[in-house]
Amino acid sequence: MGRTLSRKIAQLPAHRRAAVKMRAAELIAEELSLQDLRKAMNRTQVEIAKTLGVGQDTVSRYEQRSDMLLSTLKEYVEAMGGELDLVARFPNRQPIRIKKLRDLASRDATGA
């Protein structure tokens, strides 16, 4: 009889099981769709629509899109009570949190 992953994890020390559980949660959180995120926050499309001042059909379209404006995504996340962070990751460097896109755009326009 082969070993199952569940059995193998159960045999780990408690601190290792906790670390595995935490990392699994991180990986799952990184891959949630907008619909999954909304459901995880126990919110309905109607509730989000009301907060955004749009129709439920608009929220449904947001959740099906493969591309959207960052401002739309920011509003959607804020409608659930969250905050959107934008992080740039490069090889061999620490992640860089981009604070305000508006500030970056104005610097580009002025050449600063």
Q: Is the pTM value of this prediction over 0.85? A: no
In the prediction, which pLDDT does 79 show? Answer: 94
In the prediction, which pLDDT does 23 show? Answer: 81
In the prediction, which pLDDT does 32 show? Answer: 78
Amino acid, single-letter form, for residue 70: L
In the prediction, which pLDDT does 4 show? Answer: 82
Map residue 66 onto helix, strand or coil.
coil
In the prediction, which pLDDT does 7 show? Answer: 85
How confident is the chain (112 residues) per 10-residue block, as mean pLDDT? 76 90 75 85 94 96 90 91 89 88 52 50
In the prediction, which pLDDT does 101 show? Answer: 66
CATH 1.10.260.40 holds for 32-110 = yes
Quote the CA–CA distance of 46 and 29 in Å, as a whole number.
Answer: 23
* Cβ-based burial of 106 (10 A; exposed 0-12, middle 13-18, buried ≥19): exposed
* Cβ burial 58-70 (10 Å sphere, 16+ → b, else e): ebeebbeeeeeee
In the prediction, which pLDDT does 108 show? Answer: 47
